[in-house]
């Protein structure tokens, strides 16, 4: 298991390298004089020169890249002139909101999706099955940010049950926090639940047809025990794969949903920075989010090994 873990961690190194190259390249794609953009309208010529020097725009590309990587390896993501603070500080301050939103919706989507999928597989070819398929397709086709706005209109404006936006920190008021998170989390979960349900259904259908499931039932085991202890565990691998893919969708979905519900996460930080053309913050935010996703993928691979020992022994 430890060897498997190490191999998996090592394979993330080239991926992270490409991620960093792409993020560094973004800055280079920006047309025009970036120092003018960063300095704002009231910057003097001397200010701009200082920014250029600080960013190293007066030096050749390879020197800049070297300096950027040197800083990066020490956890320094650069400095935002518009926020007047280090980028890393701003990003990591906002990260918990994004992660809790993505995590909460992942949990909701997985639980609801797996249950719906099991139900569809057990009631194969009935109206339950067809209903689950339709729900899955509609979820897959609905833009999540729009669905968020529809939920705001429904529950925030017409029914008045929940706030239409804004955020209350968990430490200040747990109930207020839950109220501000429930709509965003459900928005993301409901659009992604269908994908998990589809995969669970087809994976469970495969497994439920196996001999050992029939044997377990024949020797008098309870139906629920067979479904959850025998069948589900063996149906988990494809489900875990989909959950891994969905985590990426949810992470970027969270970035957009934060904008819809005015939640102070990394997403709003990035979007705000885009509007102010504060590129170090855009870079830092993207880089950190991508690293989170790479880490999630490692966890998913480890879960394979846990659900199916053959995977880790094969390495």
The nearest distance, CB 140 to another protein, in angstroms, is: 6
281 vs 232: CA distance, rounded Å: 43
297 vs 102: CA distance, rounded Å: 15
The smaller minimum CB distance to another protein, of residues 119 and 152, is found at 152
Residue 269 interacting with another protein (CB under 8 A): no
Considering only residues 112, 227, 235, 270, which one is a binding residue for another protein as defined by CB under 8 A? Answer: 270
The answer to whether the CB of 249 falls within 8 A of the CB of 192 is yes
The nearest distance, CB 286 to another protein, in angstroms, is: 5
Site for another protein in 243-262 (CB under 8 A): 245-253, 255-256, 259-260
Site for another protein in 143-172 (CB under 8 A): 143, 145-147, 149-150, 152-153, 156-157, 164
The answer to whether the CB of 90 falls within 8 A of the CB of 281 is yes
**Angle at the Cα of 138 from the Cα atoms of 135 and 139, rounded to 5 degrees:** 85
14 vs 104: CA distance, rounded Å: 30
Residue 15 interacting with another protein (CB under 8 A): yes
**Binding mask 26-65 vs another protein (x if CB under 8 A, - otherwise)?**
xx-xxx----------------------------------
Alpha helices (H) along 123-173:
127-141, 144-151
The nearest distance, CB 285 to another protein, in angstroms, is: 9
53 vs 72: CA distance, rounded Å: 18
- Number of neighbours of residue 272 by Cβ within 10 angstroms: 17
In 3D space, the residue among 83, 117, 120, 71 whose CA is nearest the CA of residue 270 turns out to be 83
Residues within the interface to another protein (CB under 8 A): 14-19, 21-23, 26-27, 29-31, 137-138, 140-143, 145-147, 149-150, 152-153, 156-157, 164, 195, 202, 238, 241-242, 245-253, 255-256, 259-260, 270-271, 274-275, 279, 282, 286, 289-290, 293-294, 297
């Amino acid at each position: 298991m430890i060897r498997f873990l190490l191999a998996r961690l090592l394979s993330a190194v080239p991926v992270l390298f490409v991620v960093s190259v792409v993020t560094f390249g973004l800055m280079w794609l920006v047309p025009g004089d970036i120092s003018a953009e960063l300095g704002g309208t009231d910057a003097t010529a001397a200010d701009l020169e200082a920014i250029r020097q600080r960013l190293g725009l007066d030096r050749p590309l390879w020197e800049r890249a070297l300096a950027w990587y040197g800083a990066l390896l020490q956890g320094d993501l650069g400095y935002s002139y518009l926020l007047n603070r280090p980028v890393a500080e701003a990003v990591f301050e906002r990260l918990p909101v994004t992660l809790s939103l993505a995590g909460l919706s992942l949990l909701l989507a997985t639980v609801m999706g797996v249950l719906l999928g099991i139900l569809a597989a057990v009631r194969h070819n009935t109206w339950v099955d067809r209903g689950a398929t339709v729900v899955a397709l509609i979820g897959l086709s609905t833009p999540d940010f729009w669905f968020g706005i529809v939920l705001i209109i429904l529950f925030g404006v017409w029914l008045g049950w929940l706030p239409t936006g804004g955020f209350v920190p968990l430490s200040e008021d747990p109930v207020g926090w839950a109220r501000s998170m429930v709509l965003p989390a459900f928005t993301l979960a409901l659009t992604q639940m269908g994908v998990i349900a589809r995969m669970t259904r087809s994976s469970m259908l495969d497994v439920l047809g196996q001999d050992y499931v029939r044997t377990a039932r024949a020797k008098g085991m309870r139906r629920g025990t067979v479904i959850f202890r025998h069948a589900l565990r063996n149906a988990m691998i494809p489900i875990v794969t989909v959950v891994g893919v969905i985590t990426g969708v949810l992470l970027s979905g969270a970035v957009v949903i934060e904008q819809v519900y005015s939640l102070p996460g990394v997403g709003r930080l990035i979007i705000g920075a885009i509007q102010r053309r504060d590129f170090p913050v855009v870079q830092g935010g993207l880089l950190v989010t991508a690293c989170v996703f790479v880490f999630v993928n490692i966890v998913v691979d480890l879960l394979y090994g846990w659900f199916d020992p053959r995977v880790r022994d094969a390495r």
